[in-house]
Structure 1
């Protein structure tokens, strides 16, 4: 019996239901499976059937016709590679075709926010993508995509390969429109030159009218095809109750053509066919350059997707053919999409890691520059984490897969990068809001200009109004901010700095004081136990409290599960026979719990009731039933570039301080070594927050921390920076995450933010200055329509090109 190609159930209906997949007709068991499989093919997701590891679920109901195009995206099999899920909330990057300006982004955001279950949506008009988060139990992905489609935009989950195909298709269509407009402009201009020379006034007027009719015919494809993007954008905006910059352009093109057609048919009045074709051509030329610049600005995020390989070397244990009692290792190359959590893969030297995982066997250097921006390989061995997209340099590694698809670190970085690209500074929100009013004002000014010129020179009234509409289109104004932010975010990613919250580009240039936590920031965070000192209290052989091994086992049991750097120092001493219960974390002090009905505490001197003012070094104390049993002397080396990073910040005019919970002597030693004048020791998280609040009364303060223990103080600072450990990146609530080990990247980030703000201001000044200068010239009739089109296009190109300078910044 034949089985359904989609769900693998028996087919009992003969050949009644079929779907053509990869040019082959495949049998389906029911109309539901046929509809879903056809939706998958129509959505460009035929690769799902090529790489799937399990059959799809049986579809018992027909898919409503209006949702057929998008219903495939509701399938778990499709969403696992596209959608990031966190409890009942899902997040997806959506590619949207048809976005031309900031008004389009505004329209989509406001329409989709009206759907129930939408958590948030942000649209980037530069990359033409939206980041959508929704409650899956309230609204389905297909409904969101359908809602976008109903307002005139084509939406689909962002996929690199499909997006590249779409971009190429859009470029071809744009070139076709541009080429047609250019060809028509040359032809119409030839006839216009003859008409402008008044040659036909003394000759037969029939020849003049013939030239006009030919010009009208040649201009028609330009008006009805080449200029379509302007019309569609204007109509979508009006349907959304908003006026955008393409409305004035559409009115100019349509108005000039209609007026010229009337003049041609009646044989009286002036014609503007050459102006219509010429400024349509120049407008399209400007948009074409903008489109190319946007693709350049957003290409870096696509490159991150491409770093993950398509195949993986799956390592399995199979019985030997000749002797079933023996087993052999088998290496099979499979599509990376078919990997499952818990699979074992082999990473050969020179290969790219196919999935996030933990090393089971082997030791090798890994190039993690795609994550951190640092080219030097990091040496990793058993129990260390490796991440998809990084490169194995030296020796083969056996890795157990721990995360796939949207749960991988590279996917998290891409999501955070997209969030950063979509966030808008206050100045951008102000510009977006004013652009609508600006467009409305221009239309009113154009109308007033027309009526005024009816009294001055009626024959010139129309083309003067035309010039006002075209010359003052606020395209440059709308492009001033988003293109610069997109470029800067790409450079931040190359630096290994992830932007998580809005306002970072505004906050960085204003900083005056940087406060560092010590452990894991200025120091490497790889704490080790230099010495274990036993006390004289209760060290009888019977109790075994004082034995070195016992106190280490106790400490390891309490620290089990914690990801604090100090906790990692005790992990080698964990014993399965020593189990702690009732574990309680006392923030800024230590950990308490019970082992064998004994009250065990490990933490600082204050937590254990000890006066350690006379002690040297970084110390940790362990007590059993409130009797101190051991003291652990810890050591943590300073980061290689901490001194250089502090020096660079100080040379840039920023004050630098240390705020740590460690003892004063150890903190002062670090401060002296790094030439930091102000250091604060023995601080609890509440004390750190009070310190930051006091400093903020006079200065804007940035706080560096590990993102977990320092959560309160990070939240309280003007700007917070967390040292990202990769696995904990999603848990950080900081404004910035520094993925690498080099603190000097932060000073580069400040310089880049200052440059970004400077470029945004330059763009806005240019955009406003251009409109202020061109408006009176156009109103007074000193700018002809095609010159107006050239000026508007050049203005937009200047703004985009200025923003692209950020991509050439040396890092």
Structure 2
């Protein structure tokens, strides 16, 4: 008889059918209560794909699991976390989907409750996408504990996964539609009886018929109050428990107050009933929220689309060269895959065989394919165009470039401009003010016109809800971030949206920015008995310790058996090292002159020298080419009113040639890194300055600028300290980014003007009794929808 093994850990099952978990509607045997509990938790968490794509069995859960096993414990498993957790040193980070977020106050509550928890590095909540970006120290707190803390506040959180998010959105939409449909149906029924109660044709209606109509109206309105309006209550209660007021507090007070007063009037047979108002403004509020949610989903759809670009399968090559189709999630670092023409690359890697053109539009926004040869980096989600290529996997899961872009995109969406922080504060005080105004309104009307006091107060509470005010900024920022991603611009730091429109001075580094940075050795002049191959190999061994674009010019001359030790790198000047017991230096003329004590050599970034401890050995002339679109990018920035300059460490005539070719009049050359930083600091006294660099060796200078932009080629995205990265190295995208930021700022101002203007306009009308409750609900919903739709105009911008 064949022995049964545990479906989770593959250990022998000695307990028969005592422990079984239902997976994909099939009973699977488990060896112990620990494995049964953990497998059940995995399934309950919606992570069935773990069992589909795993390559190794799970670890055996030898410890007894408590009966009340946490529903979140599955998320602590290492094999499960690899799908959605990014590890960076001692900090883990992930994106969470949070159900139940309705406004800025919800985001504030979650952030402030968790920021003080020991072990949580940061948490930022985006109300538009209903997601949070979380970073924590795994040695101090578990992910399951964090999720439990969020659930205790009243929200359900889980790691963001595209398929699960879409299914959750569909479930929530169906539930919302049910609430909306019920409210609509009840409103129609109640309005029929309201017509009978208030129409002139039924002025002399008998008391028993009047009471009958009231009781039936209450029966129809009750499901609306107790079911359809639930989202408003939950949001209001969560806010009040946290010591704050949000926009749903006034709405909940209006609904509950009108319903309770109407019920009392129905039971006692005295006073007015407002069942039709309760049903009607609940219906219109839900209708506005429904359209608003659909619009907000459009604002965040670009992030989902990035995930969908990664294929589900890949063609894996074994040691014999045989090809088999496997799930992309099963790929591991070091695997070799075959990518056929027209196929989407399944993971980040390096081409080890073949040559082809690759379309990287999903990363850079540039549709023109890029030629890739053996040794070139390729990235998940990009498309192989011409010929078959063989790729060795170098990164998977959350370590891939596309995952990093999504993390940066979400971080940018979560970054709140200063105006958003002011608006959050204003919204809280505004709600308090409205409650006070509503109370005063009720007292005044109750004194002079008691029969109308209640419905006028209802109108004040509903009409002045600051929903539009809270939505004014986050929806616009989310749309702008999605637009940046579309054109290949990645935002790494906060404040970019505010800084971009203010930029009036742009300074370019030359090498790797205005030029392609693909430098090559044009000529070699030798001053001793060595041959060209020897001096180039020594230079390559020294340059192997540098990240400067010049170092890449010597990569092809590197010899595996020739290594430099005791290397010392002088930023922007040169490198020294020991090769086979002999000390060598390579670098600029000034750097070499100081080391060997000779007369000053000509100093130029296009000319570098090689020397030993005593004498000059060789002189290398380097060549570089200007980027094709540098001139048009410079012209576009001039049209935006920016002053332009070049700041380069090169002191040769080549800097002037580049400046003339692209149309820049101001040139600063022969600058050390410290000299560049001093220049930036002095220029910033004249206005807001942006600095372009290659992102790695220019880090101190970039850090000193008001706004820094790096040319980000692929894997370098995580290595630089710039505020922004141009993924496709397209300089013209910076001027596009400025235009988008200016338009975003304009739309945010329009939203705020509209939201504040609407409330200032509607308050006097509501207080004086000129706005009926259902009209107030329509006005408030329309105001919020106008703000969201205005923000969505950003997604239609073509750049």
SS of aligned partner of 1:69? coil
Render the CA deviation track for 1:112-169: whole Å, top value 9, x for unaligned.
1122100000000000000000000000000111111111111110000110011111
Shift of 1:611: 6.7
Shift of 1:596: 2.0
Query: Is the contact between residue 529 and residue 634 of structure 1 (CA under 8 Å) also seen in structure 2?
Result: yes
Query: Is the contact between residue 590 and residue 601 of structure 2 (CA under 8 Å) also seen in structure 1?
Result: no
Structure 2 residue aligned with 1:196: 198
Give the Cα–Cα distance (whole angstroms) in 2 for the partners of residues 399 and 225 of structure 1.
Answer: 55
Shift of 1:68: 2.4
Structure 2 residue aligned with 1:108: 110
Query: Is the contact between residue 664 and residue 680 of structure 1 (CA under 8 Å) also seen in structure 2?
Result: no
Could you tell which deviates more after superposition, 186-195 or 404-413?
Answer: 186-195
Structure 1 residue aligned with 2:742: 754
Query: Is the contact between residue 67 and residue 143 of structure 1 (CA under 8 Å) also seen in structure 2?
Result: no
Structure 2 residue aligned with 1:737: 725
Structure 2 residue aligned with 1:588: 572
Query: Is the contact between residue 83 and residue 91 of structure 1 (CA under 8 Å) also seen in structure 2?
Result: yes
Shift of 1:533: 1.1
Alignment of 1:424-439 (within 5 A): 424-439=416-431
Render the CA deviation track for 1:17-57: whole Å, top value 9, x for unaligned.
11000111111111111110000000011111011100001
Structure 1 residue aligned with 2:134: 132
Query: Is the contact between residue 36 and residue 68 of structure 1 (CA under 8 Å) also seen in structure 2?
Result: no
Alignment of 1:52-67 (within 5 A): 52-64=54-66
SS of aligned partner of 2:31? coil
- TM-score where L is the length of structure 1: 0.96
Give the Cα–Cα distance (whole angstroms) in 1 for the partners of residues 637 and 738 of structure 2.
Answer: 9
For the pair 1:347 / 2:339, whether they are aligned, the reply is yes
Could you tell which deviates more after superposition, 497-506 or 562-571?
Answer: 562-571
Structure 1 residue aligned with 2:433: 441
- TM-score where L is the length of structure 2: 0.98
Query: Is the contact between residue 345 and residue 400 of structure 1 (CA under 8 Å) also seen in structure 2?
Result: yes
Structure 1 residue aligned with 2:662: 674
Match of 1:412 among 401, 404, 407: 404
SS of aligned partner of 1:584? strand
In structure 2, list runs of 5 or more residues that go unmatched: none
Give the Cα–Cα distance (whole angstroms) in 1 for the partners of residues 330 and 57 of structure 2.
Answer: 12
Match of 1:121 among 115, 120, 123: 123
Structure 1 residue aligned with 2:552: 568
Structure 1 residue aligned with 2:276: 274
Alignment of 1:14-25 (within 5 A): 14-25=16-27
**64 and 700 in structure 1: CA distance in 2 versus 1, 3 angstrom threshold:** farther
Shift of 1:62: 3.6
Alignment of 1:309-388 (within 5 A): 309-317=311-319, 328-388=320-380
SS of aligned partner of 1:607? helix
Match of 1:605 among 589, 603, 614: 589
How many residue pairs were aligned? Answer: 793
Render the CA deviation track for 1:332-371: whole Å, top value 9, x for unaligned.
1111111111111100110000111111100000000001
Alignment of 1:80-91 (within 5 A): 80-91=82-93
Give the Cα–Cα distance (whole angstroms) in 2 for the partners of residues 103 and 684 of structure 1.
Answer: 49
Query: Is the contact between residue 639 and residue 741 of structure 1 (CA under 8 Å) also seen in structure 2?
Result: no
For the pair 1:529 / 2:521, whether they are aligned, the reply is yes
RMSD value, Cα: 1.2
Give the Cα–Cα distance (whole angstroms) in 2 for the partners of residues 115 and 615 of structure 1.
Answer: 55
Render the CA deviation track for 1:245-280: whole Å, top value 9, x for unaligned.
000000000000000000000000000011000100
SS of aligned partner of 1:754? helix
Match of 2:476 among 478, 484, 489: 484
Give the Cα–Cα distance (whole angstroms) in 2 for the partners of residues 66 and 801 of structure 1.
Answer: 46
Shift of 1:109: 0.7
Structure 1 residue aligned with 2:650: 662
In structure 1, list runs of 5 or more residues that go unmatched: 318-327, 541-545
Query: Is the contact between residue 515 and residue 656 of structure 1 (CA under 8 Å) also seen in structure 2?
Result: yes
Alignment of 1:642-661 (within 5 A): 642-661=630-649
Structure 2 residue aligned with 1:507: 499
For the pair 1:258 / 2:260, whether they are aligned, the reply is yes
Give the Cα–Cα distance (whole angstroms) in 2 for the partners of residues 503 and 351 of structure 1.
Answer: 39
**309 and 611 in structure 1: CA distance in 2 versus 1, 3 angstrom threshold:** farther
Shift of 1:201: 4.3
